[in-house]
Amino acid sequence: MGVKGFVEGGIASIVAGCSTHPLDLIKVRMQLQGENHAPNPNVQIRPALAFQNASSGNIRVPPPPPAARVGPVAVGIRIIQQDGAAALFSGVSATVLRQTLYSTTRMGLYDILKQKWTDPNTGNMPLVRKIGAGLIAGAIGAAVGNPADVAMVRMQADGRLPPAQRRNYKSVVDAISQMRKSEGITSLWRGSSLTVNRAMLVTASQLASYDQIKETILDKGLMKDGLGTHVTASFSAGFVAAVASNPVDVIKTRVMNMKVEPGMAPPYSGAIDCAMKTIRSEGPLALYKGFIPTISRQGPFTIVLFVTLEQVRKLLKDF
């Protein structure tokens, strides 16, 4: 019974991940907007670019103008214009691997915990237990899937770099192999604390919300157990998950994507440092960069995930 939950969750996750991959790519590109405009303390400013403060004698440099914000549609069009429509699926092999490792694990574990923690008398599981099951399943799934997550972020972000600076990974296997050789095995778990935190938030909010909203709809007789109920509950769950996870997602994307030059200090020393630098240079709302594509992806992703999951369950109910 336990293995069945992993199979059902894995199939649904891979279908949902591949079908919404272009939206995820646009989200990653938007989350990295403005990052290169943050002041770098390691870069020395030439005197010609500075002006003298007469009273103190200090050299001061006027802050760079903020980068123009580009919306999701414009980001998508730019990707197509620069690299062709196929570029919208950059890193899709990493998405497949990530869903196979991360989502299969979290969906299967959540299903096992749900069976164990469901009240046998009522057939329902209290919301607190749903959230607890989501937190545990999300954390374990994220730890398993982190190498694929790092590879996916890098492959999706590569196209925004100048051609000379691109990593040009051929596939997710090539990305993981190159990272291991050039940056060490620990680079595959870069940002893992963020991945785990985000996955805990997403899994708890997404799976617990879906189950709770679906149960409420059915208990109150608002709709019958069918496609309408599944779509309503899954879209609501996607919105809750997007709101809860976006700030962690922005920081995770930036930490995973940072380029560490040999002998140089990394741009960010960790998650807190990344968050503080992002807020200082771009403002607190920068943590919600990419929210429109996040909800635009999270909504369809969650709908496809749970609608597919319900159909797969029907197909496999006799196994």
Tell me which residue has tokens 């635009």: 296
- The tens digit of pLDDT for each residue in 203-252 reads 999 999 999 999 999 999 999 988 999 999 999 999 998 888 888 888 88
pLDDT for residue 40 = 46
**pLDDT tier, 35 (very low <50, low <70, confident <90, very high otherwise):** low
Nearest Cα neighbor of 261 from 187, 184, 183 is 183
pLDDT for residue 217 = 94
Higher pLDDT, 44 or 179: 179
Higher pLDDT, 247 or 258: 247
Interval 290-298 mean pLDDT: 81
E strand or H helix that includes residue 156: helix 127-157
pLDDT for residue 62 = 53
Amino acid at 109: L
Tell me which residue has tokens 């050299």: 59
pLDDT for residue 236 = 93
- Which of these ranges, 34-38, 156-160, 180-184, 314-318, has the smallest mean pLDDT? 34-38
pLDDT for residue 58 = 54
- 24, β-bridge pairs: none
CB 247 within 8 A of CB 290: no
> 33: phi > 0 → left, psi -120 to 50 → alpha, else beta; which?
beta
DSSP per position, 22-67: HHHHHHHHHHTTTGGGS--TTSPPPGGG-EE-TTT--EE-PPPPPP
End-to-end CA distance of the chain: 9
CB 196 within 8 A of CB 143: yes
Interval 196-208 mean pLDDT: 90
Please state the domain extents for the chain. Answer: 2-38+71-315
Predicted model pTM: 0.70
Within a 10 A sphere around the Cβ of 208, how many other Cβ atoms?
25
pLDDT for residue 36 = 57
pLDDT for residue 45 = 40
Within a 10 A sphere around the Cβ of 46, how many other Cβ atoms?
7
Please give the class, per CATH, of domain 2-38+71-315: mainly alpha
- The tens digit of pLDDT for each residue in 39-90 reads 444 444 444 444 444 444 555 555 555 555 677 888 889 889 888 888 888 8
- The tens digit of pLDDT for each residue in 89-148 reads 887 888 898 899 999 999 999 999 998 999 888 878 899 999 999 999 999 999 998 888
Tell me which residue has tokens 């403005």: 34
**pLDDT tier, 194 (very low <50, low <70, confident <90, very high otherwise):** confident
Name 35's Cβ contacts closer than 8 Å, sequence gap at least 6.
254, 278
Higher pLDDT, 182 or 231: 231
**pLDDT tier, 37 (very low <50, low <70, confident <90, very high otherwise):** very low
Higher pLDDT, 2 or 87: 87
**What percent of the chain shows pLDDT beyond 70?**
88
Residue 170 confidence (pLDDT) above 60 = yes
Residue 279 confidence (pLDDT) above 50 = yes
Instruction: Give the tokens for residue 292.
Output: 């429109």
pLDDT for residue 163 = 81
Interval 275-290 mean pLDDT: 88
Tell me which residue has tokens 């907007």: 33
